[in-house]
Structure 1
Amino acid sequence: MTEPTVVAGAVIASDKSTRKPPPPEKASDVRRRTWVILSFWFIVLCLLPIWWRTTTIYRANLPLDEMLEWADGKACRPVFPLRISIQADALQEQEAQNLLRLTQHALDDLNDFSGHHLRLQLSPPSTVEHQSRDRDDDTALIIRLVPGEFTSSTLDPYAPILDITYPPNTIPSPTSSSSSLAAYVASQLRTTFAEEQAIISYLLSTNSMPTEHRPQGLTPEAAESLSKRTTRSLKYAPTYHLTFSLFTSGPLPSSWDIEAAIDSYMRPVLDVLSPIHNFTIDTQVQLYASPGVQSQILNKEDLSSFVNAAEWPLSPSIGGAPTINFILFVGNQTIGSTAPSSDNPDDATNITTTSSWLLPQWGTVYLLSLPPSSPHVSLATLKQPLLTFTSHLLSLTGTPQSGSLPLRLSTLARIRSADLLLRASSTLGSLARLSLALPSIAIPGSVADGVQKTMAHLRLACETLGGAEGLAHARIAEAEAERAFFEKSMVGQLYFPDEHKIAVYLPLLGPMAVPLAMGLLNIVKEWTKRRREKKERGVEKKNV
């Protein structure tokens, strides 16, 4: 019983020991397999950079450091040089020059904001030709010194001219170091430009400028008042659309002389505002409009429900320009507010009424009472509403409140220049911080071009700040900065991380990568084995 098992076991052991190994692989087959695997890897290595390049989000190079310098106020320190021309025909040349020097010293001592420079210059004898030339040279203000009995000043309401009357005995001598007349002229100049300086100070204080460049001395009360005015006015735009609407509580009136009223009472102001803003105008008549309030006297809390843009068919913005609405409502409503009488403070029955109110960043509503049978609103009747609309238009566009109209408009141009410069600089800083915070965001070449144009115009605006040229450059810089920041192709791919590529391509490339990697690993092992065997044979030959 045991022999067959032993024999069988011996037979089995003999079969195992006599099994032949597989024949050696031909060298040509090894080379062929190696070249096949390496060719695949060559194709992969050649296509990988192309794939990576075509799937990588393009990011144009941006001057981030320079953009942040503009945003932080380090690239430009706003300076507003204002030239003041003094006409002193009654004084001799030496006396006028001495008065000019003392006035400049007194003015520099009063000025606590170094960015607002008032520079005095002596004007030639006053003639129509010289005055016209001075205005063409962007002279901010002309001071006319006229001898008289008392020291007084009068600001021309229709021209940037300040008339100062002085007694002859107040003329300083050539050796005097101070003068009451020079101090008076300096104080009047400071008063004339106090509002402009306060507004510019407020703009700079609300910007991210370094502390040493910010003006000092702006009181909290003044800052709060300027904040309310800034909130009330519209954001700067090159073009505004004015809509004049006639709303009636009944079928009459059905027409009005609005075109003639605009030409007579508002067109002069629109013309002087044309260097800063363009205006488009349309008019409409709504034969019936529900006031939303049944009482005849509207309280303050009723005004919000009275003006309902959702129910009132107002014209929309045209061409993307902001719309300013001027509504003339013909009805029997008036605006009233209760106030206690002086005789009895507890009695709140006294009612003060008004006929119009201004809605911040929206427009004006004017309530007009007419006889029920009036079919037409005449030009004379529209005079007061149009004058009110004109005054409110100046407020909505951010025009200063003090001074003559030409002086207020020149101040508005300088304020708008500073505002646009600061806004464009802030937009550059926001774009730079966005680029640093989101490394995967796309930055097309158009954004880089817009940034370069913005900084180029910002430099020109900073050099010519305060004049018409500075306003033009600041306007272009702000528009280019906004266009670069809101580039559609950049916003469309706001977040495209590299993990997204892995999630998309790994299921496709994984099955292909495993055979290639294993084949390359086998090639490396065989090459290492052959090299080791070759080295061993060399050692044996050396020993023999």
Structure 2
Amino acid sequence: MQYPLHIRLTAPGLNEHAQSSLAARVQADLDTSADDQLYRFTVLHGSHNDSNIVSAERDWDLLVSLHQEQPSKLEATLQSWVPVLDVRYAPNNEADELATFISQEILKVYEDEQKSVSYLLSDTAFAASTEKTLDLDDKARLDSRATRAFKYATTYHLTFSLFSSSASPSLWDIDGALDKYVTPLLMQLSTISHFTIDTQIQLHASISPSIAGPQLDAASGKWQLQKTDLSGFVNAAEWPLSPSIGAGPTINFVLYVPSEDQSPLEIAETGGTSWLIPQWGGVQILNSSGKLSPRLTVENLEQVMLAFADQLTALVGLPPSPPSLSVRLSSLTRERATSLILSASSTLGALARLSLKLAYIAIPGSVAKAVDETIRRLDQACLDLREGRFDSALANARVANDEAERAFFEPSMVGQVYFPDEHKVAVYVPLLGPMAVPLVMAALKELRKLRSGKMKSA
């Protein structure tokens, strides 16, 4: 596996020769500074098309835009929505100093992704190709991220639920709030997965009886939930939160409005009002400063939707850094493609070992066809990775993983796994035994007759 990343460097204040020389210096620094064989940086230089910055058809992964100013020191800023790294420098900066600074900033942009990919490849046959070492803090952080995120799926179903402990609020402008605060994020994530959405309201919703419940803090006058109560807060017995509403995994987002006599309600240890439940969803408590309105407007839901959007990024596995959403999405594409390649390879290996161990299993033609398709797609996905076609790599890896699982869980083969020859003997012997006994006895009787006849004739 390899991940080629193309960096385009543009400096309107420098002539063509100076830009070419600076790009060559940055390339040399990246070649010597990069401590991972998986990532291969290629530095380009020259102008670019502004309308192509957000397009998937661009010929670069990160744009380094140099601006000649008079800062007290070299500065770099990664834009939030597009893969553009703005570098400000002074005319008196040395070329070598500027090149070193740019190369270090580029490595910082992809540092967390390299750690994540190294984490994915650890304990696999590809581990030898990476030299990125992870300390205990990095491993703990990546373990936590992998634990809370859902397993990759082509489609996720999002359920937004309003649970009110009383009869109010009974309405909410959820469609407008979703369009304004959540849909733009889903459009960005649509290159990786698809999303379906539904909403619901339930009044007089009580908190799960399995927890102690809110306790009034006399000092602050606030009702508080203990941290140990958060995991059992959701009332699974009475709240309609089905885990299989949509085609894919369901991600639940619960907005809970406490009653006036238990408001404001917050988490005791942190004072927060929202928390994430790993591989399930997120919960947000909405406290009202006065009498609750029967309808929650888009303005009332602004902070709630922003919290849900942040929780969604964690639940689908979007890296928390760097600050540019576009770069994070590209990183997630490479990570998901890598994980699917590893998953498909592992499933295919398990199927091969199973067929060798249980030689009596007949391999259906559909399984052979699925295996051929898996291998073909895996080869293409790895080729796409090496050539920098990351979206195509993800698409081929997704198909390879689906085909591998289809082959492994073929119903006719699964049945044979649980009924080997020993089981068949155990099943049929009791049935054939009563039939065999008279036949054996008759055969023995005939043998005795034949033997006695020979003895008489002798």
CA distance 1:168–1:253, change in 2 (3 Å) = same
Instruction: Sort the Cα spacing of 1:501 and 1:389 in 2 relative to 1 into closer, same or farther, 3 A.
Output: closer
Residue 121 (structure 2) aligned to one of 204, 215, 220: 204
Cα 1:433–1:126, aligned 2, differ >3 Å: closer, same or farther?
closer
> How much has 1:235 moved relative to structure 2?
0.4
TM superposition shift of 1:378:
0.9
- Distance in 2 (alpha carbons) for counterparts of 1:417 and 1:147: 39
Q: Where has structure 1 moved over 3 Å in runs of 4 or more?
A: 126-129, 131-135, 495-515
Residue deviations 1:436-488, cap 9 Å, x none?
22223343221111111111000000001251111100111111111111111
- Of 241-250 and 362-371, the range deviating more from structure 2: 362-371
Q: Does 1:386 align with 2:321?
A: no
Specify the code of the residue in structure 1 equivalent to 2:57. D
Structure 2 letter corresponding to 1:404: S
TM-score (norm 2): 0.86
Shift of 1:429: 1.3
Determine helix, strand or coil for the equivalent of 1:121: strand
- Cα distance in 1 for residues equivalent to 2:252 and 2:377: 33
Which of 105, 110, 117 matches 1:188? 105
1:252/1:372 contact within 8 Å kept? no
Match of 2:454 in 1: none
Query: Match of 1:136, SS?
Result: coil
1:220 to 136, 140, 160: 136
SS in 2 for 1:169: coil
Distance 2:243 2:127 in 1: 43
- Map residues 41-440 of structure 1 onto 2, 5 A cutoff: 78-123=1-46, 125-128=47-50, 131-132=52-53, 136-137=57-58, 139-150=60-71, 151-172=74-95, 179-205=96-122, 207-209=123-125, 212-292=128-208, 293-295=213-215, 296-331=223-258, 332=263, 334-338=265-269, 352-370=270-288, 371-402=290-321, 403-440=323-360
**Is the 8 Å Cα contact of residues 282 and 308 (structure 2) preserved in structure 1?**
yes
1:255 deviates by 0.4
Deviation at 1:218, TM superposition (A): 1.4
Q: Are the counterparts in 1 of residues 54 and 82 from structure 2 also a CA contact under 8 Å?
A: no
| Structure 1 contact 83–139 (Cα < 8 Å) conserved | yes
Q: Any stretches of 5+ residues in structure 2 without a counterpart? A: 216-222, 451-458
Q: CA deviation at 1:165?
A: 1.3
Please report how far the alpha carbon of residue 500 of structure 1 lies from its aligned counterpart in structure 2 after TM superposition. 5.4
- Report if aligned partners of 1:333, 1:367 keep a CA contact under 8 Å in 2: no
Answering whether residue 395 of structure 2 is matched by residue 472 of structure 1, we say: yes
Alignment of 1:448-527 (within 5 A): 448-465=368-385, 467-499=390-422, 504=428, 507=433, 511=439
State the number of aligned residues. 421
C-alpha displacement at 1:323, in angstroms?
A: 0.6
Q: Which amino acid aligns with 1:208?
A: T
Q: Shift of the alpha carbon at 1:302?
A: 1.6
Q: Secondary structure at the match of 1:353?
A: coil
Shift of 1:169: 2.9
Counterpart CA distance in 1 for 2:241 and 2:128 is 48
Alpha carbons of 1:220 and 1:500: their partners in 2 closer, same or farther (altered >3 Å)? closer
Q: Which whole-Å CA distance do the structure 1 matches of 2:162 and 2:305 have between them?
A: 12
**Quick check: 2:118–2:127 contact (8 Å CA) kept in 1?**
no
State the Cα distance separating 1:336 from its structure 2 match: 2.8
What CA distance in whole angstroms lies between the structure 1 residues aligned with 2:441 and 2:106?
Answer: 81
- The AA in structure 1 aligned to 2:248 is A
- TM-score, normalised to structure 1, is 0.73
Aligned equivalents of 2:160 and 2:105: distance in 1? Answer: 40
* Partner-residue secondary structure (3-state), 1:153: strand
- Could you tell which deviates more after superposition, 185-194 or 464-473? 464-473
Show CA shifts across 1:119-144 (max 9, x none): 11113x34535x45975235211111
SS at match of 2:37: coil
Q: Is the partner of 2:399 in helix, strand or coil?
A: helix
Distance 1:110 1:373 in 2: 58
Question: RMSD value over aligned CA atoms?
Answer: 2.5
8 Å contact from structure 1 (residues 89, 126) kept in 2: no
Does the C-alpha gap of structure 1 residues 495 and 366 become closer, same or farther in structure 2, counting only changes over 3 Å? closer
Alpha-carbon distance between aligned partners in 1 of 2:248 and 2:276, rounded to the nearest angstrom: 20
What is the distance in 2 between the residues matched to 1:375 and 1:273? 34
List alignment gaps of at least 5 residues for structure 1: 1-77, 173-178, 339-351, 523-544
Structure 2 CA distance for aligned equivalents of residues 250 and 496 of structure 1: 56
- Rate the CA distance shift 1:500–1:277 in 2: closer, same or farther, 3 A: closer
What is the alpha-carbon distance in structure 1 between the residues aligned to residue 59 and residue 291 of structure 2? 52
> Is the 8 Å Cα contact of residues 440 and 496 (structure 1) preserved in structure 2?
no
**In structure 1, what residue type is equivalent to 2:144?**
K
On the 8 A contact 2:214/2:265 being kept in 1, the answer is no
- Give distance in 2, aligned partners of 1:493 and 1:336: 53
Which amino acid in the other structure matches residue 202 of structure 1?
A: Y
* Cα offsets for 1:174-200 (capped at 9, x unmatched): xxxxx1111100000010111111111
Shift in Å, 1:317: 1.9
**Separation (CA, whole Å) in 2 of partners of 1:384 and 1:376:** 16
